[in-house]
Chain A
């Protein structure tokens, strides 16, 4: 009994610690314009939203480690040994399957662990893994609309600063090379960067574009009725102007719900 109580206390302490290390901003209830004209995947429309709080930063390796330590959770990549990793030299949109990769070794054992990257966003986790973290932490993933409203920070343009794509370098860790045949560290990072390293959006959210694609709940207008696809938004360190370029407030990506890539992560929200 004492042992059980001790374990329960440990779990509670770890949960509180993980949540304490996340800062949130409040988004008031209201009607918000999302989407873009002539874009059926995410058409321009007004959506009503209840108040919510969204994390200022993406969930980090340290925060995910607290979850794993408290629960013993085993990720999809650890069970299935099918994570997808990146190294320079690959053709566009090509990744390597690496049976050794999981969140502690997001690009495989041969490419190093996260011990010096505990303040980087957790990656190599699947949509299902992100949901497990949320269940444990008392949070949830943002809906597609919540994510977009927070990313837009009141703007009605493709980027929260306007329409000039080249301004991305101040705000986001993205791929600045023309292709992925050689490494790109022009912004200081080839893979992930520490969260909150680049400038925030006007509401104080960091890395809404770039760093990692962020899993969201919900369905797009184009999802099949029985689709089990997950969605992620905001682009990632892999995304370049020429390939993907999803580092904006409009695009929505599709991903298998059990796929684990080293450019996929998440941030969380709470009801107000």
Chain B
């Protein structure tokens, strides 16, 4: 998971390496990979938040957090922006995910992590959960404006266990059916809520059972797509709030 591969593909030594050792992913697959790792940048107080981050992170090399005073001075919308562009703590080792062929034709078991070596701190994750309704509204507003849902927004949806976003996400997916990671969000929501019909399915066994690989995926085809959409819609209807 978790780091940009496409940019690296442009490196000559790696291109050579790929040519020798690994079949090159198609242009479509590479473009899709890049899109998967693209974040959404919220507009709310963006300049102010960036300026504050620049002050705490002069060399851009360390995990740094705003002081409590500065953090508390931010409005809810500005905090949202801060969290979506600046994780405060280190992510654990074992983040590297190898590139895969035909990435644009696969529904993965997990969305890619958004921030490479970094991850949201506890206060950041707590903020998302404690302000779930507001954060969901901001994500919807931002997604409708930009016509995309970045990997950081998807990660936030899962962090908040935002089941209530499902109808919006289904509609959003159905606009062009290109962002297969939205199908992954549905799979992960059903998995983390232990939705019984899903837990008994062949899909769950392939993606999340004891012997499933972390990089497991389903082939993207109309049957799998329809099944996921139907299941997640049923899950939403039966979800006990």
Contacts and interface: CB of A to CB of B under 8 A. Distances in A.
A15 B211 CA distance: 45
A215 B92 CA distance: 13
Given A178-B210, A222-B5, A244-B214, A37 B94 contact: no
A3 interface: no
Nearest to A80: B62
B94 A251 contact: yes
A254 interface: yes
Interface in A237-272: 238-239, 241-246, 251-256, 258-259, 261, 263-264
A117 B94 CA distance: 25
Given A241-B210, A242-B210, A256 B90 contact: yes
Interface in B1-52: 3, 5, 7-8, 11, 13-14, 17-18, 20-23
A254 B93 contact: yes
A93 B91 contact: yes
B208 A38 contact: no
A220 B128 CA distance: 35
A95 B17 contact: no
Interface in A85-99: 93-97
Contact of A243 (B14, B91, B93, B214): B214
B98 interface: yes
Interface stretch (B66-74, B115-123, B167-175, B217-225): B115-123
B interface, size bucket: 35 or more
A253 B22 contact: no
Contact of A40 (B17, B63, B119): B17
A interface, size bucket: 35 or more
B61 interface: yes
Given A45-B21, A96-B122, A252-B96, A242 B89 contact: no
B14 A40 contact: yes
B234 interface: no
B21 A44 contact: yes
Given A222-B96, A224-B8, A252-B96, A40 B91 contact: no
Interface stretch (A106-114, A133-141, A228-236): A228-236
Contacts of A239: 94
Most buried by A among B21, B23, B63: B21
15 contacts: A35-B21, A40-B98, A40-B99, A41-B96, A82-B89, A213-B93, A222-B14, A242-B214, A243-B214, A245-B214, A254-B3, A255-B95, A258-B61, A261-B90, A263-B92
Interface of A: 35, 37-41, 43-45, 80, 82, 84, 93-97, 178, 213, 220-225, 228-229, 232, 235-236, 238-239, 241-246, 251-256, 258-259, 261, 263-264
Given A241-B211, A259-B90, 6 more contacts: A213-B93, A221-B17, A222-B96, A225-B11, A255-B92, A261-B90
